[in-house]
Amino acid sequence: MENYVGVLLFRATGESEDDHPLYEESFVLLTAEDEETAWAKASSHGREREHSYRNDDGELISWKLEQVVDVCLAVDDEIGDGAELYSRFFRDLTAYRAFEPLLDGEPL
């Protein structure tokens, strides 16, 4: 068995007319014998996390799996303190800043 990391994209929507979806990118650790099995486990894990609830205003909020973005072997073989699990490369820092609100301290 090997360690894989799955990147899952979730979307939360509400019932109100002026609702703006909220997205969550989740990194999950998976153990599998091969990449195909890891992809299946990532998809299954994401579907299991789908749920709905009523917020404080009584509005129904629904979280759904949008997509399994990526599944790959964990970068480090040994999983422990400081282990690198996942990395990706990019060339467009402006696009990354637009995507990542925490980079500039922007609140969600």
pLDDT digits (tens, 9 = 90+) for 71-99: 999 988 888 899 888 888 888 888 888 87
CA dist 60 to 4, 22, 24, 29, 66, Å? 34, 14, 18, 30, 18
Q: Is 96 helix (H, G, I), strand (E, B) or coil?
A: helix
Count Cβ atoms within 10 A of the Cβ of residue 66 and give its class: 0-12 exposed, 13-18 middle, 19 or more buried: middle
Query: Tell me: the pLDDT tens digits for 25-47?
Result: 999 999 999 999 999 999 999 99
- Residue ranges per structural domain of the chain: 2-104
Q: Are 42 and 8 in contact (CB under 8 A)?
A: yes
Question: Is 20's pLDDT higher than 80?
Answer: yes
